[in-house]
Amino acid sequence: MSQATETPKDDRDVIARLADRGEQTLARLAELPGGTKAMKAVNDLRTRVDELGKKVRGIDELEQRVEKLEKELAAMKRAAKAKAPPA
């Protein structure tokens, strides 16, 4: 086998080991006094961060809409000035 074909398998093994360690660590944390409460707080924080991320992504769309409206308003003002009789 070549070195290139062994690397992805090795990477999966490392990732699998890290995932197992993470699961073991989380299980140990839950067993500690107050661990369940801490785990709940971490999960709640994750949920809030996810919600915040969704809201932030929505800001880009709103900025585009505002920019479009500003351009339309500027065009309307230019058209109104062009139609206005000279003073």
**Domain count within the chain:** 1
Q: Cα–Cα distance between 78 and 85 in angstroms, integer?
A: 13
Render pLDDT for 39-80 as a digit per residue (tens, 0 to 9).
Answer: 788 889 999 999 999 888 889 889 999 999 999 999 999 998
Q: Which two tokens stand for residue 62?
A: 């709103």
Q: Cα–Cα distance between 65 and 70 in angstroms, integer?
A: 9
Per-residue pLDDT at 63: 93
Per-residue pLDDT at 2: 46
Instruction: Work out the percent of the chain whose per-residue pLDDT is above 90.
Output: 30
Q: What is the pTM of this model?
A: 0.43
- Tell me which residue range forms the domain holding 30: 3-83
38 and 29 Cβ atoms separated by less than 8 Å: yes
